[in-house]
Amino acid sequence: MKKLNLRYASTLVILATAFVALIFVNQASDQGLETESVRKSENVFGISAMPSVAGDSQSSTSWFCPGVPGLEKTVSSEIVVSNSTDIPITGKVTFLLSDKPAAVAQLIVQPFTRGVIDATGGRKSKFISAVVELDNGAAAVEQRIIHPAGDSISLCANKPSDRWFFADGFTGADSLFNVLLSNPFPDATVVDISFVTADGKREPASLKGIIIEPERIYSLSMGDQGARNESVLAVSVRATSGRFVAGKLQHFLGRGRLGYSTSLGAASTSRQWWFAGGRKDPDTDEQLVVFNPTEQDQSVSVAFLTGVAEEIFREPLVLTIPAGRVTTLATSKLPAVTDGRYGVVVSSITNDFVTSDEDSAVEFVVVEQVISRREDKKTGTTTTFGAPVGAPSRTWTVASGVPAAGGTLVILNATSLATTLKVSTIGPAGSVAIEGFEKIELGAAAVLEIKIPIASADLPILIEADNEVVVQREVNRGHELIGVSSVLALPHRSSGIAAVAGK
């Protein structure tokens, strides 16, 4: 070969450098692509499973409350809108009625206050649900029913879904179990309902193709649908067309359960479910109800988090839930679980090696916690959905506050690292740490119960932690009834989402 001249050699060097750069840019970006992919899938699937506070990331939010009874004279209900910002929040509430056109009301919530409005909007209808649209992302909304059988708080959804699940239903002793389906859209939604009892899955033809009229709420008493006197009753509602919001109203009338409980359904199954409010004592009867709505058997492990490292997973409990069935785990009867507070995490171990991207195509389980407290032959029962995977967050808001008398916050550290907490109330002066709660240490996987001072009662509460936690609150059921109504607080969307959920 002829001797290369300097110019040609330089050209070859430049070309080689460009070629190497080409390969490098391509490969370096591939790595970034993977990280991005994980982040995106977390955003898409992680948070959608549970209502949350958007924070500054959104300039407006919408809340879809599950519904309240509108004709019962002894029952009242309210929508609580918490404004933790220093500007007024305006919005409107659309009331969806059972048999009448929707009605609209305007709403203004002053800075650092709670706005409380009648959840029926003054309308008369068998059931009424509300859609609250606000011009600020930092607002939080909850629904509260004041019922003679016990007050109950439930979360409101951020968005409708095409499927909703309820793991725990109960119609024993003629207990009432109403499923409320709200359609806030301008066209009809068609849903199929199936339910699972102790005998197995049932899909009555009468529950196929149920049409929910545009901007209406539809109620369904499961007892009337052939699920009478069932101690096990899980419900699955799937839309064949459109989307909707589903909630449940339960009035327990016997067979070990008493009281009134409402809750928003689970908009998806999840690989994990976190519960902060586990408790074992002689007066408490706790159950974990695991519903497998999928077509394949699911195995789950149940771990009890007490904060003592040796005890964590000391007795890993593995349950197998057959396809389309419900398994109830009576935790109170487990000898290995020590008395006191603990957290619970239920994890699916089926498809354990499925990557996060593929989770979107996989369904897992739905888990509810049922706690009945007994005292002097009186019983108070509450049901609570856990926090699905992705929900543990560093910041949580309790929109409607925790009544000083009989109300507590239960905080579970969902990580394996110790964390520091700050609990503040949001009052006229903005966010102010509660005295004594400016800096609380919480060990890894430990649970902390906090009694809120009287001075801070009824104020929205903000919980900030260094690591991901799960916050649940237990409030007095009122009317001098025993037991508590348990409900999750609202996580903040921008404050850390750890994992991925399925549909």
Partner 1 sequence: MVVHQPGAWFDEVLAGLASQDYPNLNSVFFLTAKLTSSGVDTTDANAVATKISEVLPNAVVRIVEGNPGFGRLINELQRIVDGDKCLFCIMHDDVVLQTDTVRKLVEELFISNAAVVGPKLMQWDKPTLLQSVGFGIDRCGEIDPFIEQNERDQEQHDAVRDVFFVSSACMLVRSDLFRELNGFSQDISFFGEDLDFCWRAHLSGARVLVSPTAVARHIDSFETRSPNLISRASAARNRARTVATLTSRWRLPFVWLQMLLTSAIETVLGVFTGTFRESLASFRATVALVLDASYIWQRRRQVRPLRRVAASEIAKLQVKGSARLTRFIRHRRALASREIASLVQTKKRWRQSSTRTAGTVLLAVTILILVGSREIITDSSRVIGEMLPFENGSVSTSSVFTNFLSGWWSSGFGEASANPTGLGLIALASYFLFGNLALLQTLMIVGSLFVGLIGMWRLCGAFANTRVRLGAAVVYAALPLSYDAIARGRFSALICIAAAPWLFDILNRFQDGKDQSLVRKTQLVSGLLLILGLVFAFTPSIAILFLAITGLWVFASFLGGVSATKLFSVLLVGLTGLIGSLFINLPWSMHFVSSSWWHLLAGDQGVTDRKIGLISLARLDFGNTRGGFLVVAIYFCVFCALVVADGWRRLWAIRSSVLVVFGLLLVVLDDRGRLPFALPEPAVMLAIVACGLALAVATCLSVFAETNLTRASDWRRSLSLLVPLAIAMMIAPTLLSVTDGRWNQPETLVPQLLEQLPDNPKEGNYRTLYIGERDLLPVATNSVNSEISYGVADDGAVNFSSNWAPQETSMNLVAQRALKSLIADDTVRVGRLISPLAIRFIVVPLGDLPSSAALSLVESLSNQLDLRRTYFARNLVIFEDVTWLPIISVLDEVSSVASQQVSDFSLTSQELKSQSALLIDKNSVADKKVRAKFAGGTVHVAVPFDSRWRLIVDDAQLAPRVAFGSSTAFDAPIAGILSLQYQTSPLRYFYLVVQAIVWLCLIMLAANFSRFRRRMRQVESNDVAVLFDAVRQDQKIDMAKR
Summarize as ranges the residues that interact with partner 1 (CB under 8 A).
1-2, 7-8, 10-12, 14-15, 18-19, 21-23, 25-26, 28-30, 33, 40-41, 44, 57-60, 62, 90, 92, 106, 131, 133, 135, 137, 158-160, 162, 184-187, 241-243
In angstroms, rounded to a whole number, what is the distance separating the alpha carbons of residues 13 and 19?
10
Of 37 and 420, which has the nearer Cβ to partner 1? Answer: 37
What is the DSSP secondary structure assignment for residue 360, as one 8-state letter?
G
Least distance between partner 1 and beta carbon 7 (Å): 6
Of 160 and 483, which has the nearer Cβ to partner 1? Answer: 160
Using CA atoms in the order 45, 48, 54, 56, what is the torsion angle rounded to 10 degrees?
20
Least distance between partner 1 and beta carbon 8 (Å): 7
Least distance between partner 1 and beta carbon 241 (Å): 7
Burial of 206: CB neighbours in 10 Å, binned 0-12, 13-18, 19+: exposed
In angstroms, rounded to a whole number, what is the distance separating the alpha carbons of residues 6 and 305?
71
CB 121 within 8 A of CB 103: yes
Least distance between partner 1 and beta carbon 31 (Å): 11
CB 386 within 8 A of CB 501: no
What is the DSSP secondary structure assignment for residue 266, as one 8-state letter?
B
Of 12 and 405, which has the nearer Cβ to partner 1? Answer: 12
In angstroms, rounded to a whole number, what is the distance separating the alpha carbons of residues 182 and 267?
13
Of 25 and 454, which has the nearer Cβ to partner 1? Answer: 25
CB 102 within 8 A of CB 217: no
Of 92 and 378, which has the nearer Cβ to partner 1? Answer: 92
Of 227 and 490, which has the nearer Cβ to partner 1? Answer: 490
Helices and strands (H, E) in the chain, number of each type: 1, 36
Instruction: Tell me the two tokens of residue 285.
Output: 């009867």
Using CA atoms in the order 399, 402, 403, 409, what is the torsion angle rounded to 10 degrees?
170
Least distance between partner 1 and beta carbon 229 (Å): 38
Least distance between partner 1 and beta carbon 493 (Å): 10
In angstroms, rounded to a whole number, what is the distance separating the alpha carbons of residues 490 and 394?
11
Least distance between partner 1 and beta carbon 70 (Å): 21
Instruction: Tell me the two tokens of residue 358.
Output: 């593929």
Of 40 and 378, which has the nearer Cβ to partner 1? Answer: 40
